[in-house]
Amino acid sequence: MSAPSRRSAPALVQRLLITPVLPRPRLRRLAQLYVGLYLYGLSGALLLRSDLGAMPWDVLHQGLSLQTGLSIGTWSIIIGTLLMLLWIPLRQKAGLGTLSNVIVIGLSVDLSLWLLPTTDLMPLRLLLLALGVLVCAVATGCYIGVGLGPGPRDGLMTGLAGLGLSIRLARTLIEVTVALLGFLLGGTVGVGTVVFMLAIGPLTQVFLPLMRMSEPPRPPRSPAPRTS
C-alpha cells in the first residue's frame, strides 16, 4: 500500500482526529491507547526537565502550578475536564480515549517528573528537548490512531475547525494563547516551546498514518430469505 500523498495529508489528519468511537475495542487497541497517553505525559515531563521551554499547554499548567501549589499533572486534569465543557456548544463527542486522556496524561506527567532527574548540562538538556518533541509525536499518533475519541485539547481544535477555521490555524491560535497565559503566570517559555510548535505538526503528520488502526471488518450480512 502506498503512503498517503502530501496533498491528502491535511484531510487525513483531520479525519483521524474526528474518527468516531469504535465499538468493543480490542486489547491491542486499548494497549496502544494507554501506551500513547503515558508517552504523552512523559514527553511533557522531558520538555519540562530540559528547562528550555515546555509545550504550550504545559506552560499554562506549570504557571498555574506555580501560582497555586497544585502539581502540573493535577492542573492538566483540571484543564482537560474544563475543556470538555466547551465541547458541548462545539458539538464534539467524547469517547473512552477522551476520558482516559484527561486522567492518564496528568498522572503520567507527575510520575515522569518524579522519575526524571534535573540537569544543568546543556547537551543533556538539548537531548531532553529533542526526545520530548519526538516522543510527543509518537504518542499523538498512538492515542489518536486507535480511534477511541480525541483528547480534550484536540477536540477543541477540531471543534474550532468545524466553525470554519483550518486545523493549522485553530491549533496555532490555541497554542499561542495558552502559552502566553502560562508565561504571564510564570511558566517556562523558551526555545523548546518554539521548537515544539514548529516541529510537532510535521512529525505528527508522519506518525498518525503509521499508528492508525483500522476498524475491524464486520461479518457480511446474509441475504434476506425470499418470501413467496
- Alpha-carbon separation of residue 138 from 51, 63, 134 (angstroms): 21, 26, 6
In this structure, what C-alpha cell is assigned to residue 228? 413467496
126, 192 Cβ separation under 8 angstroms:
no
> How far is it, in rounded angstroms, from Cα 137 to Cα 36?
10
Report the first-to-last Cα separation within the chain, whole angstroms.
Answer: 46
Q: What is the pLDDT of residue 16?
A: 47
Q: What is the pLDDT of residue 87?
A: 76
Under-50 pLDDT residues of the chain:
1-7, 9, 12-13, 16-23, 217, 228
Q: How many CB atoms are closer than 10 A to CB 159?
A: 21
Q: What is the pLDDT of residue 225?
A: 52
In this structure, what C-alpha cell is assigned to residue 122? 546543556
Strand (E) or helix (H) holding 30: helix 27-50
Q: What is the pLDDT of residue 22?
A: 44
> How far is it, in rounded angstroms, from Cα 201 to Cα 14?
12
| Residue showing cell 468545524 | 162
> How far is it, in rounded angstroms, from Cα 150 to Cα 35?
15
Q: What is the pLDDT of residue 221?
A: 55
Q: What would the pLDDT profile of 27-79 be if each residue is shown by its tens digit?
A: 888 999 999 999 999 999 999 999 999 999 999 999 999 999 999 999 999 99
Cα 172 vs. chain centroid, distance in angstroms? 14
